[in-house]
Chain A
């Protein structure tokens, strides 16, 4: 299994560990320090405490922003999963127009968010749509659609074409085939895509700042707080978001690993 001689393996392992520590340790600093108080610019390591979390729970601005974020996230998930799945179903097996469509879908995801945000902002102004949570949801949906579309399409393509043929062959109608064969085989990809879409919507900042009305989502709120100075409850907030995001990603990975592989392992 190991083709390399032993000294170089050790060397490689050391390098990888070093890089990993340098790259990822900043992520854990806020988690650790959120359990300690800061006095005179120094962390007081002597007494762990939950006081930062208590302060966070009393911060109504943040709690409101959190609620807004959740509402936007859920609406975005519903909208993007439904439309992304429909697009994938429609363009699966259809050659004409597909590459153009894919290009358009992927554009907002690949462009710098500030460009996407400005384009949307101008568009909303042209059609006279007031900036509100609705425009935020539309903006987020446009942004995450590529992920949903791609995830569902990939699952569709990995599905054997003969499954659908077998269903018809056994006497099923198109409708029965959709509900009983296609959708169940897509469902785990759709759940995975929904989680990813939610995670992306949750921390989207740039587009949101540009197209939102008076309400702020959590990242926007944080952005505003940071400008006024660093307060300890931000540590707690970052720690919470970090843990939440990790949880989401683990869940998404679970759903996106094909069922076959999962059963083979067990």
Chain B
């Protein structure tokens, strides 16, 4: 994966509508063949990024390069990208095969060739039987697949998908996630997939680009984002997390302590040079996942503190405890997640317990 060259590069791209800036100085490289997900809350500028790449909106500043060539001014119908629109944008007056073949027929490809490739594309999305239906006669999931077939028939270098699954119900969404992923592997095309759903992002992406308020906050594999978030926003947005505020202590090799209301917590800073460089006394958070927190036993030396179990919730495969810790066992709210056991949990609501997490499972984010 890492050897793949960059397909598309955005360099200091910004976008304003009138005086309102919606994207600020975005730098982003998309690798050839990857499934890159843009994740962010609604209004963070995800659609705008997609529209700039697709050529539906002009850039305010910066440039977009395809294989190193500046394409910022290339008209939309010349760009070798195709979009799956959020509302699918199927042409209501054309049949499924008319829709799918449109991209070829406007390029004056021969009729026979069009028919062959339409059949092939419909086969790929498993809609062969529906070739002569009109969009109004299809279900949401089927329309979705027509839109996908229509986008990939021209063999684009990059397929842009704007929250394509948002309108589907949960079960269908799961199926479509797997389906999209398998198609992407089969046709080996780069996908740029926009979503506001972090579970969807974790499940599908090779890499995730987290956006907030028109900025890219972090770009990395789901694993990197989960275990090494580089800012408070990502740490809170991406999966459940415990964040405890404090002041940084002196660097100790690959670890660094932080003085918090729970006492001194030692966290890992492996591969995070900016945390090594941060001055002593700087405000930061210790961050550790609910599944990293556990009842302390005699072997746990570091990161020990006590708390009261305020609430226990059975959530199927796991059980989640809400814990109050810190001064008077009230200042800090934490979550602890353990696998559920048939005999019930060892935890009791209202109990005071000793808790701990391993230093290598804690990390730091600057405030």
Contacts and interface: CB of A to CB of B under 8 A. Distances in A.
Contact of B87 (A162, A185, A260): A162
B192 to A, nearest CB: 14
A168 B91 contact: no
B106 A260 contact: no
Interface stretch (A95-103, A172-180, A199-207): A172-180
B93 A259 contact: yes
A184 B154 contact: no
Contacts of A168: 56, 76-77
Interface string A226-266: 00000000000000000000000000000000011001100
A171 B137 CA distance: 26
Interface centre among B78, B81, B89, B90 (most CB of A within 10 A): B89
Contacts of B81: 169
B56 A184 contact: no
B91 A163 contact: yes
- Which range contains the number of B residues in contact with the other chain? 20 to 34
B137 A169 contact: no
A20 interface: no
B56 A165 contact: yes
Interface centre among A169, A184, A259, A260 (most CB of B within 10 A): A169
Contact of B106 (A171, A184, A259, A263): A171
B77 A185 contact: no
B35 interface: no
Contacts of B87: 160, 162
Interface centre among A162, A173, A185, A263 (most CB of B within 10 A): A162
A225 B85 CA distance: 62
Contacts of B226: none
Given A162-B85, A165-B56, A165-B85, A172 B102 contact: yes
B107 interface: yes
B218 interface: no
Interface in B122-147: 134, 136-137
Contacts of A68: none
Contact of A167 (B92, B102, B151): B102
A170 interface: yes
A181 B81 CA distance: 20
- Which range contains the number of A residues in contact with the other chain? 20 to 34
B56 A169 contact: yes
B82 interface: yes
B257 interface: no
B228 interface: no
Interface string B311-350: 0000000000000000000000000000000000000000
Interface in B25-59: 54, 56
Interface in B254-288: none
B77 A166 contact: no
A160 B93 CA distance: 13
27 contacts: A160-B87, A160-B89, A162-B85, A162-B86, A162-B89, A165-B56, A165-B89, A166-B85, A166-B91, A168-B76, A169-B77, A169-B82, A170-B82, A170-B102, A170-B106, A170-B151, A170-B154, A172-B77, A172-B102, A172-B106, A180-B102, A184-B93, A185-B92, A259-B92, A259-B93, A260-B92, A263-B137
Interface of B: 54, 56, 76-78, 81-83, 85-87, 89-93, 102-103, 106-107, 134, 136-137, 150-151, 154
Interface of A: 160, 162-163, 165-173, 176, 180-181, 184-185, 259-260, 263-264
Ranked nearest first, the 9 interchain pairs of A and B with the lowest CB-CB distance are: A170-B103, A162-B89, A166-B89, A172-B106, A184-B93, A168-B76, A263-B136, A162-B85, A168-B77
Given A170-B102, A170-B151, A171-B154, 10 more contacts: A162-B87, A166-B83, A166-B89, A166-B91, A167-B91, A169-B76, A171-B77, A171-B107, A185-B93, A259-B93
